[in-house]
Amino acid sequence: MGPKKLFLPFIFAAAAVGVIAYLLVHHQSVCLQCSAAKLFSPEVIKHFIGSFGPWAVVIYMLLYTVNTISLFPPIAVMSLSAGFLFGPILGVIALTLGSFCGTTATFFISRYFGAAFVDQMIKGKAAEFQEKLGRNGFMVILPIRLIGFPPWELVNYASGLSHITYRDYIAATMIGIMPAIVIQVFFSDRLSNFNLKDPTLYLAVGAFVLLAVVPAMILKNHKGKR
Q: Is residue 104 very low, low, confident or very high in pLDDT (cuts 50, 70, 90)?
A: very high
Q: Out of 23-32, 84-93, 153-162, 213-222, which region has the weakest mean confidence (pLDDT)?
A: 213-222
- Angstrom distance (rounded) from CA 159 to CA 115: 11
Name the DSSP class of 53. Answer: G
Q: Return phi, psi of residue 125, to 5°.
A: -70, -15
Q: Which residue, 181, 179, 156, is CA-closest to 169?
A: 156
| pLDDT recorded at residue 218 | 59
pTM of the model: 0.76
pLDDT at 1: 47
Total length of the chain: 226
pLDDT tens per residue, range 136-153: 778 888 888 887 776 777
The domain locations on the chain are 3-178
